[in-house]
Amino acid sequence: MSLSSRRSDARANRERILAVAREALAADPEASIHSIAKAAGVGQGTLYRHFPTREALVLGVYREGIDDLVVLASSLLDEHRPMRAFRLWCRRFGEYAREKHGIAALIRSAMSERHFAETYSMMVDAVRRMMQACSDEGELSDPADPEDFLQALALFMQLATTADGLARSERLLDLAFRGLGARDGPEQTTAYGSKAGAPE
């Protein structure tokens, strides 16, 4: 029993570290490992046992939200015309990136990270599905590589730390959509009962 209680302690430590890190990184994306370990009430060694590198910790913190985004892509595609779904998803992604400051840089670096490869490829697939749906519906005449577009999104979001930057990132997103040859679906179609105004 001592073994399993040890292990459950370790498990609890891991969860506590994640919870503390989630909060600390939201408050300050450059919060130090020392401060996170201290706030979690563990030694730095313990933190490193669970997350062998700073990036691994950040990954652990953001993975959940990113998985949510992948799921969101599907449900938006079910509920809206493809282009509207795609745009809403990008907006949601932007909001998430603004909360969790580090995510944009993370997605950039995560491209090559082993441990994040699966989650990353699921994101790329989500973008691919949305883009494909838009193409199929003739709402997008000039599709690009989904991974390219995801990377562009992540880059734009690096700007969204200030109010000005946020506005700029949205304008650049519009520019990118124009680059894709996006034609917003026939909003006058009342079939979906969308008022086209208030999103969410």
Q: Is 172 in the site for a copy of itself (CB under 8 A)?
A: yes
The token duo for 17 is 């570290």
3-state SS class at 140:
strand
Smallest gap from residue 108 Cβ to a copy of itself (A): 8
Segment interacting with a copy of itself (CB under 8 A) among 61-69, 88-96, 175-183, 184-192: 175-183
> In degrees rounded to 5, what are phi and psi of residue 182?
-70, 130
Residue selected from 68, 79, 136, 142 as contacting a copy of itself according to rule CB under 8 A: 142
Q: Identity (one letter) of the amino acid at 85? A: A
Q: Is 122 in the site for a copy of itself (CB under 8 A)?
A: no
The token duo for 165 is 């930057």
**53 contact, one of a copy of itself, DNA, none, CB 5-8 Å limit per kind:** DNA
From residue 154, give the alpha-carbon distance in Å to each of 11, 34, 79, 93, 200. Answer: 32, 28, 25, 9, 22
Segment interacting with a copy of itself (CB under 8 A) among 15-23, 66-74, 92-100, 169-177: 169-177
For residue 180, count other CB atoms closer than 10 A to its CB.
Answer: 19
Q: How many residues at the interface with a copy of itself, by CB under 8 A?
A: 24
**68 contact, one of a copy of itself, DNA, none, CB 5-8 Å limit per kind:** none
Q: Kindly identify the residues of this chain, within the stretch 54-73, that bind DNA according to CB under 7 A.
A: 54
Task: Write out the H or E segment, with its range, that includes residue 25.
Answer: helix 2-27
The token duo for 86 is 């795609």
From residue 72, give the alpha-carbon distance in Å to each of 67, 76, 156. Answer: 9, 6, 20
Number of H helices, E strands in the chain: 9, 0
3-state SS class at 182:
strand
Q: Kindly identify the residues of this chain, within the stretch 7-36, that bind DNA according to CB under 7 A.
A: 7, 9-10, 13, 30, 32-35
Residue selected from 13, 132, 151, 194 as contacting a copy of itself according to rule CB under 8 A: 151
Nearer to DNA, 21 or 126 (CB): 21
- Using CB under 7 A, list all residues that contact DNA: 3, 6-7, 9-10, 13, 30, 32-35, 41-46, 48-50, 52-54
Which residues of this protein are in contact with a copy of itself, per CB under 8 A? 108, 142, 144-145, 147-149, 151-152, 155-156, 158-159, 168, 171-172, 174-181
